[in-house]
C-alpha cells in the first residue's frame, strides 16, 4: 500500500503541468456550458460561443486522454530498456496507483464539473444525478480504461496514435452500421442520432 501511494505521488509530480492544463480546460468547459445562449439564431454572436463550447469540450477530453496516456507511459510496459523493469515494483501497487490516479485525477474532477454545470443550469438534483453518475462511470470504464489499455500496449505517444485512429475509425464504422441495422435508437441516449425514417 505504501508503494502504491509512493508511485501515485510521483505521478502527480510528473504530470503536474498536464493536470494544470486539464484544470484550465475543465474551467473553460464549465464557463462555456453555463453561458446563456439563445436557442436558435443564425447570427455571428451565436456562432462564437458554440464553437468555444465545442472546442472546450474537445479540449477537455483530449487533455484527459493525454493525461491517461502519459500516466501509463510513465512506466511503459512494452520494450526492454525501461529502468523500472529491474526495480522492486509490485504489479499490484503499480496497477493500483495508475487506476487510482485515473479515478481521482481525471474522472472525479470531470464528474464534479458536470455536477456543477448541472446545478447551475437549474436541473433538479434527483434523478439527474444518478444519470450523470452512470454516464461518468461508463465514460471512465469504456473510454478511460480503453485508452489506458491501449497505452499499456504502446511505448510512446506516436505508437499510440496510429492504433487509436484505427480503433476510432472501426468504432465509427460499427456505429454507422448499427445505425442502419437497429431501428429507432433510444431517444435518451446522448449520442443517438435520428433514424433514417426520422431524418
Partner 1 sequence: MTTVISAQNLSKRFRKTEAVEDLNLEVSEGSIFGLIGPNGAGKTTTIKILMNIHKPSAGSAEVIGVDSRRLGPAEFAKIGYVSENQEMPDWMTVEYFLAYLKPFYPTWDDARANELLRQFELPLKRQLKHLSRGMKMKASLVSSLAYRPKLLVLDEPFSGLDPMVREDLAEGLVDSAGETSILVSSHDLGDIESFASHIGYIENGKMKFSEEMTSLTERFREVEVTVAPPAAATGKGQWPESWLRPDKTPAVIRFVESQFDSERTQKDIRRIFGDVVQVSVNPMPLRAIFVALARTGSKAAA
Give the footprint of partner 1 on this chain (CB under 8 A). 2-3, 6, 10, 13-14, 74, 79-83, 85-90
Beta carbons of 31 and 113 less than 8 angstroms apart: no
Round to whole Å and give the CA distance between 153 and 149.
7
What is the smallest separation between the CB atom of 14 and partner 1, expressed in angstroms? 6
What is the smallest separation between the CB atom of 132 and partner 1, expressed in angstroms? 36
Round to whole Å and give the CA distance between 5 and 104.
13
Cα distances (Å, whole numbers) of residue 197 to 18, 179, 181, 182, 193: 45, 11, 13, 12, 11
What is the smallest separation between the CB atom of 7 and partner 1, expressed in angstroms? 9
| Cβ distance to partner 1 smaller for residue 87 or 188 | 87
| Cβ distance to partner 1 smaller for residue 73 or 114 | 73
* Dihedral (CA of 175, 179, 182, 188) sign: positive
| Cβ distance to partner 1 smaller for residue 2 or 199 | 2
Residue with cell 472525479: 108
What is the smallest separation between the CB atom of 67 and partner 1, expressed in angstroms? 15
| Cβ distance to partner 1 smaller for residue 17 or 126 | 17
Amino acid at each position: 500500500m505504501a508503494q502504491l501511494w509512493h508511485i501515485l505521488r510521483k505521478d502527480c509530480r510528473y504530470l503536474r503541468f498536464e493536470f494544470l492544463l486539464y484544470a484550465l480546460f475543465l474551467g473553460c468547459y464549465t464557463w462555456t456550458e453555463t453561458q446563456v445562449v439563445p436557442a436558435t439564431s443564425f447570427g455571428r454572436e451565436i456562432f462564437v460561443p458554440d464553437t468555444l463550447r465545442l472546442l472546450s469540450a474537445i479540449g477537455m477530453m483530449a487533455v484527459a486522454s493525454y493525461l491517461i496516456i502519459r500516466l501509463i507511459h510513465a512506466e511503459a510496459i512494452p520494450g526492454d530498456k525501461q529502468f523500472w523493469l529491474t526495480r522492486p515494483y509490485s504489479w499490484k501497487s503499480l496497477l493500483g496507483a495508475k487506476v487510482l490516479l485515473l479515478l481521482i485525477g481525471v474522472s472525479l474532477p470531470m464528474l464534479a464539473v458536470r455536477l456543477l454545470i448541472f446545478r447551475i443550469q437549474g436541473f433538479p438534483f434527483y434523478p439527474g444525478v444518478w444519470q450523470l453518475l452512470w454516464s461518468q462511470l461508463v465514460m471512465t470504464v469504456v473510454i478511460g480504461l480503453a485508452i489506458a489499455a491501449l497505452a499499456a500496449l504502446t511505448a510512446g505517444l506516436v505508437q499510440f496514435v496510429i492504433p487509436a485512429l484505427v480503433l476510432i475509425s472501426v468504432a465509427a464504422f460499427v456505429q454507422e452500421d448499427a445505425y442502419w441495422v437497429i431501428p429507432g435508437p433510444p431517444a435518451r441516449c446522448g449520442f443517438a442520432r435520428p433514424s433514417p425514417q426520422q431524418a
